[in-house]
Chains A and B, each alone.
Chain A
Amino acid sequence: MSALHWFTQVLEVLAALLAAPLFMGWINQCRAWLQNKSAPSLLQPYRGIRKLFHKDAVLASNASSLFRMAPYVVFGTMVCAAAIIPSLGTRLPISNAADAIALVGLFATARVFMSLAAMDVGTAFGTLGARREMLVGFLAEPALLMVIFLASLISASTALPAISEDIATRTLALYPSLAFTAVAFLLVLLAENARIPVDNPATHLELTMIHEAMLLEYSARHLALMEWSAALKLLNYACIGFALFLPWGVATGESPTPGSLLTSIPILALKLTAAGFLLALIETVSAKLRIFRAPEFLATAFLFAVLGLLVHLLLGA
């Protein structure tokens, strides 16, 4: 492992950490434009996080240590995930430690800790949010795994960097199966990141919220970490999507040149800009589903992913 590989690794994690709130801000801005509102500043999420870090934390008197620990665990898993996902280069020293299936496990860990922490204080809303989150999570996870299995089937590896490199370097061809799974992945991304058809990130209406309900008891630095990790999670999902379906422009090969690493940064920024706009567009044109329609939504995602697998087995493409 050369120094450049480690440099790529560090750069990638730092980029993910710094870009995550910006990505969130960009989505919010696009959404405001599309809905004919005046947009908040691009840097608004940074300001929010900085403000929260300066405040004093308030804890419920019956909060256990798990409640205090959870934000750090969640944030830590998201940073780990960012280290495994090949967003800038495919030769990442740390990514040997975990493949794509372990990555799904990392997200599951974060979810479990968040739900436990939400139930810990014992308020009705926290419990409600945690239950709903688990409902969405247990349906989204198999769909996500199916998406990853198809990509593994095509490129004969479950390691995300290897998949990404394989798809990026093969000759360009139409893969109907990959198109199916791309749609499935998009649905999972929307559901997992509390985006509109399933949950509304901008609402605090008791009856509909899922993700926000779990954070109600948090304040100050804990809340800042939770919000930062939500932004990181969204960025991570977007980067998984790029790694599986749009891997071009990432620095590949045994010894990537510094030049290819340099060009991969603006390419990633470009992809994120497009993805953010697309997400805002989807959120603007679709209406929020009733919570009991969410299983249907995720069953569709699972169906798309399995159809992709079947089509791949039948047509070989």
Chain B
Amino acid sequence: MNDLTLDMQLLNTFAALFLLTSFAMLSQRRVVTMVNLLSLQGLLLGLATLLLAWRTGQGHLYLSGALTLALKALFLPWLLHRLIKRLGVYWDSEPLLNISGTMLVGLLIVIFAFGLAQPITALATTTTRSAIGIAIAVVLLAFLTMITRRKAMSQVVGFLSMENGLFFGAMSATYGMPMIVELGVALDILVAMLVLGVFFFQIREQFDSLDLHHLENLREDK
């Protein structure tokens, strides 16, 4: 029976959609769409955080929700879009594993993550504890996205999605991390993004492509 209050139902819906965006990212070939999905994921995360803040009355969650919305739903996607436009990389090459195969592996990962989360869920005392499994699944799916892509841009999107998953996990297990940690992580992500942006140009300059397996050669002459 479903006898939850409306805000819990909404939180659960956000959690489910959060997982869905992860899968959508996994199935995408186009980098632009992946960035849009990342933005949507950030939006869902921000809304869920704000809703949780309202429900639990914890002031710092409002702040981190607002930060998430500003940074992950708006600023980072904007930055990525700009990078894509300047680099002219709209498509990823075909993923290492075909799409249906990747999705089936993703499904197994979700089952694994849900199983993994069970003991943690039993220990947690928050009302959102059932969503821990979803957070772990999102982190692992982001890993899979990074593993199956060749291009640097898609890997960065996977990396950011992984951070979203970690944040969501912290939120559902303990109502968020201490403010100082959250600020630190947000700043880290921002700086990492800027540095990676510079990196992209350097990689392209060196190899004429953003395909990362060029980096696997240690010497210049093959």
List residues of A whose CB falls within 8 A of some B CB. Answer: 170-171, 173-177, 179-180, 295-296, 299-300, 303, 306-307, 310-311, 313-317
Contact in complex: B23, A315 (CB < 8 Å): no
Partner of A296, one of B10, B17, B99, B114: B99
- A299: shortest Cβ distance to chain B, in Å? 4
Contact with A along B2-30 (1 / 0, CB 8 A): 10101001101101110110010001000
- A174: shortest Cβ distance to chain B, in Å? 4
CB neighbours of A316 from chain B (8 A): 2, 130
B131 interface contact, C-beta 8 A: yes
In the bound complex, CA of A177 to CA of B2 (Å): 12
CB neighbours of B195 from chain A (8 A): none
Q: How many residues of B contact A (CB 8 A)?
A: 29
A-B contact pairs, 30 of them (CB 8 A): A170-B1, A170-B2, A173-B9, A174-B13, A176-B16, A176-B17, A177-B16, A180-B16, A180-B20, A296-B99, A299-B99, A299-B100, A299-B104, A300-B27, A300-B103, A303-B103, A303-B104, A303-B106, A307-B19, A307-B23, A310-B111, A311-B134, A313-B114, A314-B130, A314-B134, A315-B12, A315-B15, A315-B16, A315-B131, A317-B4
CB neighbours of A173 from chain B (8 A): 2, 4, 9
B133 interface contact, C-beta 8 A: yes
CB neighbours of B179 from chain A (8 A): none
In the bound complex, CA of A47 to CA of B77 (Å): 54
Q: Which of A171, A295, A317 has the most CB of B within 10 A?
A: A317
B171 interface contact, C-beta 8 A: no
B194 interface contact, C-beta 8 A: no
Query: DSSP majority for the B interface?
Result: helix
Contact in complex: B99, A303 (CB < 8 Å): no
Contact in complex: A299, B103 (CB < 8 Å): yes
With A299-B104, A303-B107 as contacts: A317 and B20 at CB distance below 8 Å: no
Contact in complex: A174, B9 (CB < 8 Å): yes
B69 interface contact, C-beta 8 A: no
CB neighbours of B13 from chain A (8 A): 174, 176, 179
Look across to chain B and name the residue whose beta carbon is closest to the beta carbon of A313.
B114
CB neighbours of B10 from chain A (8 A): 174
* Besides A170-B1, A306-B107, A316-B2, 17 other A-B contacts (C-beta < 8 A): A171-B2, A173-B4, A173-B9, A174-B6, A174-B13, A175-B2, A176-B13, A179-B13, A179-B16, A180-B20, A296-B98, A299-B100, A303-B23, A307-B19, A307-B23, A307-B107, A317-B2
